[in-house]
Structure 1
Amino acid sequence: MRKFLFVMLTLLVIVLTACSSNEQGASSEENEKELKEVSIVLDWTPNTNHTGLYVAKEKGYFKEQGLDVDILMPGETGADQLVASGKAEFGVSAQEALTHARVQDIPIVSIAAVIQHNTSGFASPKDKNITSPADYEGKTYGGWGAPVEKAVLSSLMKQEDADVEKVDIVNMGNTDFFTAVKRDVDFAWIYYGWTGVEAELRGQELNMQYLTDYSEKLDYYTPILTTNESMINENPETVSSFIAAVSKGYTFAKDNPEDAASILIDAVPDLDEELVKASQKWLSPKYQDDADQWGIQEKETWKNYSDWMYNNDLLEEQLQVEDAFTNEFLPNKE
């Protein structure tokens, strides 16, 4: 009798364990199915500006928020157009581009600043002897053909009584900075966190005039994360979940630059490993910088730059600043 009871109890345990296992398996499958699929379109090829996104994906922060996020390259159609049309839920952009879009009634909104301060400026090899905007006269500038370039050059040069009309402005196209300054141009506009760090690794000394050294109005947010008005109005929970995961990703990258760099390298193995690690070390402290938390945006920053654009005839009308950005989806500070 005891032997019979023991056998029956053993069978019961096996059955219950099997049921529990099946339930867990079904539950796991259901959780996978319940993940909401969304996409984010990058502004350029992957680089350390995007590390927090790859960290959030690799470390499961998106899944924790119930999201399955696809990170897409921009292709011929830029991120702003894809986000505005609803073909992608999120994108990477810059304050300048979004300001133009808003003035043209394109319904995209900035939901987080990736970096707190503008790290860009005009760079030249040291042997060109360009040490200030006054030295741009008589030199060749290589750009990409945007009206804002001449306006920024003029703004900096005017402070030193120099004339932008004495600068030869040419379009570099897809030519990289290092090839261009050897062949066609004297200086170009770069982001130090990538191209400047690469110059260091190459042992090429640069003279650099950062925009923020000449005007606080040029201290704008670049890059930023965006979504469209429909997502904000119809799917605010998804936007909050996305930003919660991304905030966690960039905070990890801020605190763990080496590990974060490794995650980006593993995700995009074509990248130069040495450059990614050096760039990440340089950039990680600048994600949050002097802000209270990662991602926060200030009205004054948006107003300063849009006023500058308007005063330099880069906008047809003033930007409605309150409609261009929001902090409402950032997680509450602990």
Structure 2
Amino acid sequence: MKRSKAWMLPLTALIILALTACGGSKPDSPGTSEGSAKGSDKPLKDVKVVLDWTPNTNHTGLYVAKEKGFYEKEGLNVEIVQPGQASADDLVASNKIPFGISYQESVTQARIQGVPLVSIAAVIQHNTSGFAAPVDRSIQSPKDFEGKTYGGWGSPVEEAVMKSIMDLQGADVKKVKNINIGDADYFTAVKRDIDFAWIYYAWTGVEAELRGEPLDMLYVKDYSKDLDYYTPVIVTNEETIKSDPELVKSFMKATSEGYKFAIDKPEEAAGILSAAVPELDKKLVAASQKWLSPRYQDDASQWGVQKAEVWSNYATWMYDHKLLDKQLEADKAFTNDFLPKE
């Protein structure tokens, strides 16, 4: 489960995306399938949702909703696709695909540049990412980053987060060596080039447990409430919300059912994901799902709900750390309106 590289989009590309989307370009023709909604003669509507990366347990609810017929019940034939040269953010913002998986940080960056992404659900209620190191590196606090080598993907947010939590302990981020490891596997990189990296515990951390390679994990949310942001999120675009709100509502009703199923039945949900994506390690999927399922909703009133203060707190943090040119209009970046009423 890799971190997003949406941060690396040039500003000109973001602006072009905004102009394209605002011009009212239509998504790929949805057509109709040969099937029909259960209990109805009405043809199913073909809809795509694009992942942020390769399939993993962040996405289980989507696969459950498809396998269990929750989408079909809502009149939808949903195809789950992986991004190619274009990222999920690109495809959704330009209205090529109506739904995708993204991150609060990249949605915030996009909104500042006029790109019309809108978050419609938090997949996980609290940030499960952080800095991880093999225990033999003795990195048990941000101060221990000094003198060590960090492997990242070249985003300005990485050093800003690192500096932010190191400053709290009087540590100097300039004493950390940064190298770009790109798409290199974490376990290979820490044996060869680096001491620590930024990971999602639900995948890489759980994999480390299964490998018998224990980690010291420093969750960024534990050092600042501003860093307890939503990652990942489900996104759509303003044009889809405006032109077909019923589609968004139907998609989110079924998707919510999928994630609630994964919360209640993690073992069965893991089996559904493994069957849909057989190249995944089944033991890793099962262990990851067990760890992640209770964290989907956590302490929220329902799965997917988002709070304005989480969006505004993180955006203010970004602005204060010179990652944004202006303050975010948080109320336009997300909505809970399409979650089912409970």
TM-score normalised by length of structure 2: 0.88
Q: CA deviation at 1:289?
A: 0.3
For 1:161-240, what aligned pairs fall within 5 Å after superposition?
Answer: 161-240=170-249
1:131-161 CA distance string (max 9 Å, x none): 1100111110000010000000000100110
Structure-2 change in CA distance of 1:119 and 1:95 (3 Å):
same
Aligned position for 1:274: 283
Could you tell me whether the CA contact under 8 Å between 2:118 and 2:334 is conserved in 1? Answer: yes
Aligned position for 1:18: none
For 1:13-162, what aligned pairs fall within 5 Å after superposition?
Answer: 31=40, 34-162=43-171
Distance of 2:43 and 2:249 partners within structure 1? 17
Distance of 2:252 and 2:302 partners within structure 1? 13
TM-score normalised by length of structure 1: 0.90
Aligned AA (2:150): Y
Aligned position for 1:330: 339
Q: CA deviation at 1:41?
A: 0.5
- The structure whose Rg is larger is 1
Q: CA deviation at 1:30?
A: 11
Distance of 2:40 and 2:188 partners within structure 1? 50
1:264 aligns with 2:244: no
Aligned AA (1:143): G
Could you tell me whether the CA contact under 8 Å between 2:202 and 2:292 is conserved in 1? Answer: yes
Q: Aligned to 1:316, which of 325, 335, 338?
A: 325
1:263-286 CA distance string (max 9 Å, x none): 000000000000000000000000
Q: For residue 154 of structure 2, give the secondary structure of its aligned residue in structure 1.
A: coil
1:248 aligns with 2:257: yes
Structure-2 change in CA distance of 1:141 and 1:30 (3 Å):
same
Distance of 2:38 and 2:60 partners within structure 1? 29
Structure-2 change in CA distance of 1:129 and 1:325 (3 Å):
same
Structure-2 change in CA distance of 1:257 and 1:230 (3 Å):
same
Distance of 1:177 and 1:111 partners within structure 2? 31
Runs of 4+ in 1 over 4 A off after TM superposition: 25-33
Distance of 1:30 and 1:328 partners within structure 2? 27
Distance of 1:184 and 1:32 partners within structure 2? 59
Aligned AA (1:251): K
Distance of 1:210 and 1:123 partners within structure 2? 8
Could you tell me whether the CA contact under 8 Å between 2:37 and 2:74 is conserved in 1? Answer: no
Distance of 2:104 and 2:294 partners within structure 1? 21
Q: Give me the identity figure in percent.
A: 62
Q: CA deviation at 1:38?
A: 1.0
Aligned AA (2:318): M
Distance of 2:233 and 2:155 partners within structure 1? 19
Could you tell me whether the CA contact under 8 Å between 2:120 and 2:235 is conserved in 1? Answer: yes
Aligned AA (1:175): A
Distance of 2:327 and 2:36 partners within structure 1? 52
Distance of 2:250 and 2:296 partners within structure 1? 20
Distance of 2:291 and 2:37 partners within structure 1? 40
Structure-2 change in CA distance of 1:200 and 1:293 (3 Å):
same
Structure 1 gap ranges (5+): 1-24
Distance of 1:279 and 1:327 partners within structure 2? 27
Q: For residue 35 of structure 1, give the secondary structure of its aligned residue in structure 2.
A: strand
Q: How many residues align?
A: 309
1:190-225 CA distance string (max 9 Å, x none): 000000000000001111111111000000000000
Distance of 2:215 and 2:133 partners within structure 1? 5
Distance of 1:26 and 1:205 partners within structure 2? 48
Distance of 2:198 and 2:37 partners within structure 1? 49
Q: For residue 287 of structure 1, give the secondary structure of its aligned residue in structure 2.
A: helix
What value does the CA root-mean-square deviation take over the aligned residues? 1.6
Distance of 2:120 and 2:284 partners within structure 1? 29
Q: Per residue, is there more helix in 1 or in 2? A: 1
Q: CA deviation at 1:26?
A: 11
1:163-207 CA distance string (max 9 Å, x none): 111110110111111000000000000000000000000001111
